[in-house]
Structure 1
Amino acid sequence: MSTTRFGSGQPLSRRDLLRLTGLAGAAAAFSSTLGACGGPASTNSTGDTKESLTAVVGYGNNQTWDPLQTASAFAMAAMLHCYEALVEGDPLTREPYPGLAKALPEATGTRLAFELRAGAQWHDGRPVTADDVVFTYARALDPAENVLVRTFLTPWLKEVRKTGEHSVEFLLAGPFHYALQRIQTVKIVPKHVFEGRWQDAVAGKVVGSGPYRVVEQAPLSHTRFERFDAYNGTRPAVYRRMLWNSIVEAAPRVAKISGARPAVQIVENIPAANADQLRADGRTVEFADGGNNLWLMFNTARPPFDNKLVRQALHHAIDKKKMIEVGLRGKGTAGTSFINPKLVAQPAANDLGYDPGKARELLRQAGAGDLRITLLTTNTTLVADCVNVLKEGWDAIGVQSTVDAQDTKALFSKLDSGADFQVVATTQNAEQFGNDPDLLIRYYYAGSGVAPKYAKWKGPQAQELSRLLDRTSATGADGERAALVKQALDLLADQAVVYPIVFTQNGTAWDPRTLGGVRAQGYPGLNLNQAKPTG
């Protein structure tokens, strides 16, 4: 197998917050440098299930591996095993625990002090220092770099400065309730490796301080890991080796965990249609609720979609119950609020529920009775099945619709180039970054999120949402915070600029005869830091 060395990728372009496709040049530059070359994903195996773990992730490993920039499901999941933030969190609850920090800091108004874990090392053997933390956060906060995680840090974090060889201090703009959750999004990187060489990270180079180190990258095939024996944190690697196969197509992904003798121990992104058969094969199959949702986005700079009544009408025309039954095979929840109601039990005042009569009346009030729409969508099976139900609903109220489906990368490339559009339907999941209301809303509506960038939403309501979020995150009173979140959710439902139709469940299957200590999670990828062999 031929390989390309790290560093031969294209220079990092400044991506906006919700570019899902990663850097185009990174896929071509992906490299395999430290381990022997393997065959295609279907032939790779780690062997002994006591010492080795083989997994399948349903997303490509060929997008950017820049820890401050990526939204790649594969890369983000892998980095949880290789990099550390000062504060880490439980994969499901996000309950904070010390990562690179020796202990969680005590909140003291607008200052947070951290001491690094004694003896922490990078995968190349160099010690982790305060300079690495300051270097990482300087880039994360730099408006010129405008990396993805920056939206999660502004406006609450002003500066991170060195106070000793192994200690730093965070200076906050004001009290911020979610500080320990937000710090989890920033993985610390070694200054001596990546300063001036971020293209190496884009192309797949991984040098962290976590329990596993990456030893091989094969684009659109697999990533290999080995235990980092010098790791001295709270969650050391159990396995000597891990192999993660990248299999985007559902059928071969499911086949890997099927039968009497499955080829792998765990597979994520399991379709609901395959759950019963896998259980009959002796697999454990669990589905988890999370932030993954199919949403509609309207171009508010283009009439009549600048009228909220039109946007509301098109939501009311969609039979969400049917969409869950047909498109999601029963594994989903209606979008009665901007946040999955199974995560935050605060339905919006206007739940935008199925009501064709109301949809027609709202279109009449808006003077949009003869509406023709070209709906841009992504071409995954899930989206296609759901969009069929959507189109039926629109057709039934007299809205003539044409569906233009394309791959995610192509769709967002068009949007990035400034292409005009009317309505977009696709899936996204902010929960891979966190699960608090502030993050889940800002992901779409702040900074370079899809609402301001693509939907071109601005004006008094946008400013009011920003004020509500700032007030919510600054208050320490649970009751007041919940009331402010409810106001934000009501505003989002009223405006319906970027708004979920349904939330999907994420399925994971594993072989309980060989693997334990794992849980299904409601966002893409796997967290195997507490996995362990059974039997």
Structure 2
Amino acid sequence: MRAVSRGVPVPSRRTFLKHTGALGAVAAVSLTGCGPESTIYTGGGSGRDRSLTAVIGYGNDGNWDPTQTASAFAMAANNHIYEGLVDTDPISRAPYPALATALPPDPSATTWAFTLREGARFHDGTPVTADDVVFVFDRILDPDTPTLAKGFFAPWLRAVTRIDARRVRLELKFPFPDGVSRLTLAKIMPRHVFSRPGAWDDAIKGLAIGSGPYRQSAHHPKSNTVFAAFDGYNGPRPPAFRTMNWLTIVDAAPRVAMISGAGAGVQIADNIPYANIGQLEGGGMEVGSGAGMNNLFLMFNTAHRPFGDVRVRQALRYAVDTDTIVQVALKGHGRAATSFLDEGNPSYRRARTVYGYDPDRARRLLKEAGADGLGVELMASNVSWIMDCLPTIKASWDAIGVKTTLAPQETTAVFTKLDQKRDYQVVAAASNPNQFGIDADLIMHYNYGPENLWMGYTRWADDPVARRLFRDMDRATREPDPERKKALVQGYIDLVAEQAVLYPVVHNALMTAWDPRRLGGVRAQPYPGINVLQATWV
């Protein structure tokens, strides 16, 4: 596959099926505290001698390769196992030096030089060198290697070269200060391990060897992953626990049961259903929410008539009773989308097209498009909160004369069909690009671009309007002035809203519960995973 200047290239079928765990991803938490000696108390003894048990509401059997994955579980785990040259705070997303000793003094420069932390070692005891850094970036930028990370770097990063054993140079195509934070998405991996034949396949399956504060000590797909403190770690965020055991429990009832009652088996659980918030709070648990880009989206197959007609797509959007979805399905923990971006995003502006509930307008648009008597099969991910939203969508469409059939199924099954280019009409599923970052350029390129995954599914990339969009996106990426860039992004988001090819219906808050008698400093995040790199203890 050739390199692309916009968007994310399409990985292989196997690659995509492994990383679709991000779809329907749920809330995360950050446990931030007071420095290297911070610990979490889990029942007697010093914190450094204790173990943390967490229950995670999504699978640990997705893709673990950091250059490819969008798996919620794997990305959260990799943030503890690996380091980038730069990593970001889990809440503010502000960058800090990780493997590098300092941030670039001038983020607007077109050359950045980094020195690696002295004494940094991988979990197998070998030193981290400049060759390892170059190895990872060469893979990401290789035009013949399809990786998810390529879409986050190829538009602005020209090359990464070795200066000496502990120094590397990054050459940019143009000034791109936002790239500093994106360096956390390039986790540095040992060349001597992952250059071996078959090693990348092993990485997909769960082989994980990094330089971070925790090493992977056991991995059982569909059951749990165990971590142990890495004694050789000398970086800025040392381990707070002797071991961590992350259980994967996708079904809501047993997941909630694990953190309920005085004898709860875990200290923290995410993906808490809205209906269980009161129960857990009544039992002494604290439940926090994080609002961000987590969303229910509708995606149309523009090659299947009549969904190539923008009036049909708009009609089906105006027909959806979003207030009922928010109040009934989300129990008030969400908002109808007023832009592709959530309202808390720094680049947010209300889009010129907002799909308020307007069934009369929806009927008129369908009539203008000659789509009277339309029948729709809505293929949907069976994520629990998505399932709660589907009856309202069906009732809304039925009410304007659209005969609607719901077809919920496993998330992997949905995206297997899409990746195999099977025909479909409309898809409803969940997505959360905030796990990669919060800058609008990154979010929009993750979802839109001439050769990325999503545009392949919509069959829209060759449309003249799409080609105009891609040009506008390139121009915004290259714009050096922050305010001008923001205005350009907001402008092309207006086009995305008008076209409604792939667009959020609601943005919803994500819930995480923890025991405040044991855990301190917990803040809920609006993206997948847990982060305990700065933990406190009670």
Q: TM-score, normalised by structure 2?
A: 0.90
Q: Which has the higher contact order (CA 8 A, sep 6+)?
A: 2
1:138 and 1:160 in contact (8 A); partners too: yes
Shift of 1:212: 0.6
Structure 1 counterpart of 2:438: 435
- Cα pair distance change 1:489/1:14, threshold 3 Å: closer
1:77 and 1:526 in contact (8 A); partners too: yes
Shift of 1:463: 2.3
**Please, which moves more after superposition, 462-471 or 422-431?**
462-471
**Residue 95 of structure 2 is aligned to residue 96 of structure 1:** yes
Q: 1:301 aligns with which of 278, 284, 303?
A: 303
Q: 1:509 aligns with which of 506, 513, 519?
A: 513
Structure 2 counterpart of 1:321: 323
Tell me the secondary structure at the aligned position of residue 19 of structure 1: helix
Shift of 1:89: 0.5
Q: 1:311 aligns with which of 305, 310, 313?
A: 313
**Residue 502 of structure 2 is aligned to residue 524 of structure 1:** no
Structure 2 counterpart of 1:27: none
Shift of 1:21: 4.1
Q: What is the distance in 1 between the residues matched to 2:315 and 2:141?
A: 40
- Cα pair distance change 1:17/1:439, threshold 3 Å: farther
**Residue 226 of structure 2 is aligned to residue 224 of structure 1:** yes
1:91-119 Cα distance to aligned partner (Å, 9 max, x none): 12211111111100133532111111111
Q: What is the distance in 1 between the residues matched to 2:450 and 2:272?
A: 33
Structure 1 counterpart of 2:83: 84
Q: 1:356 aligns with which of 342, 356, 359?
A: 359
Shift of 1:278: 0.9
1:16 and 1:147 in contact (8 A); partners too: no
Q: What is the distance in 1 between the residues matched to 2:86 and 2:466?
A: 31
Structure 1 counterpart of 2:472: 468
Q: What is the distance in 2 between the residues matched to 1:456 and 1:227?
A: 46
Structure 1 counterpart of 2:130: 130
Structure 1 counterpart of 2:416: 413
Structure 2 counterpart of 1:3: none
Structure 1 counterpart of 2:399: 396
2:450 and 2:470 in contact (8 A); partners too: no
Structure 2 counterpart of 1:373: 376
**Residue 273 of structure 2 is aligned to residue 271 of structure 1:** yes
Q: 5 Å matches for 1:236-275?
A: 236-275=238-277
- Cα pair distance change 1:95/1:16, threshold 3 Å: farther
Shift of 1:291: 1.4
Structure 2 counterpart of 1:211: 213
1:18 and 1:450 in contact (8 A); partners too: no
Report the AA paired with residue 301 of structure 2: N
**Please, which moves more after superposition, 58-67 or 474-483?**
474-483
Q: What is the distance in 1 between the residues matched to 2:472 and 2:296?
A: 25
1:506 and 1:524 in contact (8 A); partners too: no
Structure 1 counterpart of 2:490: 486
Structure 2 counterpart of 1:22: 19
- Cα pair distance change 1:48/1:365, threshold 3 Å: farther
Q: What is the distance in 2 between the residues matched to 1:187 and 1:353?
A: 42
Shift of 1:23: 9.0
Q: What is the distance in 2 between the residues matched to 1:527 and 1:446?
A: 30
Q: What is the distance in 2 between the residues matched to 1:20 and 1:491?
A: 30
Shift of 1:48: 5.3
Q: What is the distance in 2 between the residues matched to 1:447 and 1:221?
A: 38
Tell me the secondary structure at the aligned position of residue 265 of structure 2: coil
Report the AA paired with residue 469 of structure 2: L
1:160 and 1:168 in contact (8 A); partners too: yes
2:240 and 2:532 in contact (8 A); partners too: no
Tell me the secondary structure at the aligned position of residue 308 of structure 2: coil
2:20 and 2:415 in contact (8 A); partners too: no
Tell me the secondary structure at the aligned position of residue 170 of structure 1: strand
- Cα pair distance change 1:189/1:248, threshold 3 Å: same
1:356-388 Cα distance to aligned partner (Å, 9 max, x none): 111111112212122111111112221121111
Q: 5 Å matches for 1:152-171?
A: 152-171=152-171
Q: What is the distance in 1 between the residues matched to 2:416 and 2:132?
A: 33
Structure 2 counterpart of 1:141: 141
- Cα pair distance change 1:108/1:405, threshold 3 Å: closer
Q: What is the distance in 2 between the residues matched to 1:104 and 1:17?
A: 36
Q: TM-score, normalised by structure 1?
A: 0.90
Q: What is the distance in 2 between the residues matched to 1:467 and 1:14?
A: 23
Q: What is the distance in 2 between the residues matched to 1:20 and 1:367?
A: 37
- Cα pair distance change 1:415/1:452, threshold 3 Å: same
1:219-274 Cα distance to aligned partner (Å, 9 max, x none): 21111111112111111111111111111111111111111232111111111111
Structure 1 counterpart of 2:64: 65
Report the AA paired with residue 454 of structure 1: Y
Shift of 1:14: 4.1
Q: What is the distance in 1 between the residues matched to 2:299 and 2:15?
A: 13
Q: What is the distance in 2 between the residues matched to 1:154 and 1:392?
A: 44
2:20 and 2:70 in contact (8 A); partners too: no
Which 5+ residue runs of structure 2 have no aligned equivalent?
A: 1-9, 22-41
Shift of 1:431: 1.0
Shift of 1:419: 0.4
Structure 1 counterpart of 2:104: 105
Tell me the secondary structure at the aligned position of residue 458 of structure 2: coil
